[in-house]
Amino acid sequence: MQNAIQSILAAEAAVIQNIPLDNPFEPAVQCFLASARAGGKVVVSGVGKAGGIGAKIATTLCSVGVPSIFLHPLEAQHGDLGVLGIHDCLLLISNSGKTREVVELVHLARQLHPDVRIVTITGKSDSELAACSDLVLWTGDPAEVCPLGLAPTTSTTVMSVIGDVLAVLAVQLSGFTRQDYALRHHAGYLGAVAKLG
């Protein structure tokens, strides 16, 4: 069993190392920061496991000074799209790049705000979602480590790591400080550590 566990860990580590470095990471973060400077926010969306990763990315961006929210694409079709402002940008997450609700969100968002900027994290750089996005962050399309090849495993690992890259770059490019962090994170261990800095 230990050999199996080691194999899984090695597979997960390998796909992280294979995330394409030529992805437009910096332009994506500059898009986020431009929205924030204009009084806007990053609206993150995805379905299922990708949606769970998206919710985590949104909260991480908030903690490093980039106002962000998670919008479920189905709820967007029932009125919640009203949360999308004119200065916002969309961060959409879909491994297949053809998740119906996410692709539909692109069209609905552009009906509301034709100039909205769209950044996508996807495993399929030639997908419909990628084609209608301004910036595409390609995961490298790793095979799932799940022995069935079905359960989102390595694909969600790389999505999460790409989100971490975006958040760390946002700190570096914006000059965000420990004091800035402390103003947003008052409670718990991290809040105490940030205040000590």
CATH of the domain at 113: 3.40.50.10490
- Sign (positive/negative) of CA torsion 158, 61, 169, 72? positive
Condensed to tens digits (0 to 9), the pLDDT of residues 80-119 reads: 999 999 999 999 999 999 999 999 999 999 999 999 999 9
Mean pLDDT by 10 residues, the chain (197 residues): 93 97 98 98 97 98 96 97 98 97 97 98 97 98 91 96 98 91 72 61
The reported pLDDT for the residue numbered 134 is 98
Q: What is the DSSP string of 48-65?
A: HHHHHHHHHHHHHHHHTT
Beta bridge partners of 19: none
Q: How far apart are CA 170 and CA 164, in angstroms?
A: 10
Residue 43 in contact with residue 68, Cβ under 8 Å? yes
Q: Please report the pLDDT score of residue 180 as a whole number.
A: 85
Domain range for residue 70? Answer: 2-196
Following CA atoms 35, 36, 41, 44 in sequence, which dihedral angle do they give, to the nearest 10 degrees? 80
Write down the pLDDT at residue 192. Answer: 63
pLDDT (tens digit per residue) in 154-168: 999 999 999 999 999
Q: Output the six-digit token pair for 79.
A: 């009125």
Overall domain count for the chain: 1
Whole-number pLDDT of residue 177: 87
Q: Which 3 state secondary structure label does DSSP give 160?
A: helix
**CA triple 75-77-80, angle to 5 deg:** 55
